[in-house]
Amino acid sequence: MSPAEAGEPDRMYVLAAAGPFPWQPLVRSLAAHAVPGLETVEVTPSGAVLTRLWPAPGGPVLAQIGIGAPDGVSVSLNGGRQENDAGCLGAVRSWLDLDADTHAVDTALAAFPRLAPLVERYPGLRIPGSVDGFETAVLTVLGQQVSLAAARTFAARLIAAYGTAGPGGLRTFPAPGELAAVAPADLQAAVRITGARAGSIHALAEAAAGGLELGRHSDWQAVRPALLALPGIGPWTADYLEVRAAGDRDAFIPGDLVLRRALGVATAKEASRLAEDWRPWRAYALFHLWTEAAYDVVPAPA
């Protein structure tokens, strides 16, 4: 029986955000990508509750994160050891970008006519990060060239087949070695994806199991070419992981179709040229444009 099932009391914390914290676009982005079985995003009248398992020494911790205050989030942890909570809380801060240098970002981006109204609408906009780089990489590959709904369906099948059951009725994401041990044909059958996509995930799992690290402190000058050498992983995926998993605030995804439409350009080269002056905050500019296109909050009629 898990600590949560045994009725162990939750450990409660409050994490303050640096600067303004417009949580609505962040919640909408996380909800759009939430994988059934791995995490839940419950929208409430006053905000949202994000629930998922977090890796920790001694076993996964069930974390419930309350979002809705303009200055930070509440965190409820159950399971694991209290002395390890600091690591989990630090990971939550990183995941929700609570330590963003909002003043520097907003001041820089507000100087550009295309971005100024977006910064005015959502000052302090945050970039959703990554709980685990390998998890984010696999989910990104599953989402290539398919709808968000299809990507969530594929990911849910992978979690059901290979995740480990934990507290709260959720599962942990399989470790690289666990997925590397699955034959591509078996992965294809379980997740119901193409053979090429299964081969890409298997190759990624083998690389990660062999030492390829996909976290914030990894050497991304070495990681990027290693990723691009894997079958089925191209510049878009590598760029996306530099934004999400590496946490590079100047990373950019010039080949993204939604971005190019937002900028009114036809090619990645044109998008890169337009964004050059946005350095070193191009990732925030990217999320402002994505928010405008997909994650904006339309006010309810009076």
Query: Span 174-197, mean pLDDT?
Result: 98
pLDDT at 3 over 80: no
Q: How would you class 225 by CB atoms within 10 Å of its CB: exposed for 0-12, middle for 13-18, buried for 19 or more? A: exposed
Confidence of residue 297 (pLDDT cuts 50, 70, 90): low
- Quick check: 209 pLDDT over 90? yes
- CA 249, CA 99: separation in Å to the nearest integer? 12
User: Mean pLDDT for the chain?
Assistant: 93
Q: What whole-number distance in Å separates Cα of residue 175 and Cα of residue 280?
A: 33
Mean of the pLDDT values across residues 71-95?
A: 94
Residue with tokens 């599953």: 142
On whether the CB atoms of residues 98 and 133 are closer than 8 A, the answer is no
Mean pLDDT along residues 13-32: 95
Whole-angstrom Cα distance, residue 69 to residue 1? 34
pLDDT in tens, 50-68: 999 998 888 899 999 999 9
- Per-residue pLDDT at 300: 38
Q: What is the DSSP string of 190-259?
A: HHT--HHHHHHHHHHHHHHHTT---STTS-HHHHHHHHHTSTT--HHHHHHHHHHTS--TT---TT-HHH
Residue 58 is predicted with a pLDDT of 81
pLDDT > 70: percent of the chain? 95
Q: How confident is the model at residue 103 (pLDDT cuts 50, 70, 90)?
A: very high
**Confidence class of residue 8 from pLDDT cuts 50, 70 and 90?**
low
pLDDT of residue 36: 97
**What pLDDT score does 45 carry?**
80
Query: Side chain identity at 13, as an amino acid letter?
Result: Y
Nearest Cα neighbor of 254 from 282, 284, 288 is 282
Asked whether residue 180 carries a pLDDT value surpassing 70, the answer given is yes
- Looking at residue 4, its pLDDT comes to 46
Q: What is the pLDDT of residue 9?
A: 72
pLDDT, one tens digit per residue, over 240-270 is 999 999 999 999 999 999 999 999 999 999 9
Q: What SS3 class is residue 132?
A: coil
What is the mean pLDDT of the segment spanning 11-22? 96
Task: Give the CA dihedral 185, 191, 194, 198, nearest 10 degrees.
Answer: -60
Mean pLDDT calculated for residue range 29-48: 93
pLDDT tens per residue, range 123-149 = 999 999 999 999 999 999 999 999 999
Q: What is the mean pLDDT of residues 261-280?
A: 97
Q: What is the pLDDT of residue 46?
A: 86
Taking the whole predicted model, whether its pTM rises above 0.75 is answered as yes
